[in-house]
Amino acid sequence: MKKIMLVFSIALAAMSFAFSQTDGRHAKKSPLDGAWELVSGQQLPKSARDVKIISGGHFIFVAYDAETGKPLYTGGGTYILKGSSYIEHIDFASDEIPAGLVGKDQPFTVKVDGDTFTQTGTLSNGKSLSEVWKRAN
């Protein structure tokens, strides 16, 4: 439990820093704002959870092993949402995330349906990505 709290404390500190850098361009609430949990897409260990927090033009994702509390990977940055076009710019990431993704735009198409959103696209390293996220309680 202490490890989980540490992971989320680090994530919240990173988001606080990122939000302090906001220049007001993203003051309008986005339909993606909130906490999301990955329900399909990435191949993670059975006990793993992947959480994404989106707010104020910023995002952060954290994957961790729910049994051990050990973090698996993390990253975050800024985003732009225009209609169904969603572009994440990864500003930072743990070593488990390919270095070629950091500092680059990652374009996606998103579809929001109630408490679920689907994110599909091709990463800047050529890897296809299709993820389904459910709003966290």
**How far is residue 122 CA from its own chain's centroid?**
16
Torsion of CA 107, 82, 118, 134, to 10 degrees: 120
Task: Calculate the average pLDDT of the chain.
Answer: 84
CATH classification (class only), 2-135: mainly beta
**Tens digit of each residue's pLDDT (9 = 90 or more) over 13-23:** 455 544 444 44
58-73 residue pLDDT tens: 999 999 999 999 999 9
pLDDT over 90 (residue 103) = yes
The answer on pLDDT for 5 being more than 50 is no
Looking at residue 35, its amino acid is: A
Q: The whole model's pTM is what?
A: 0.78
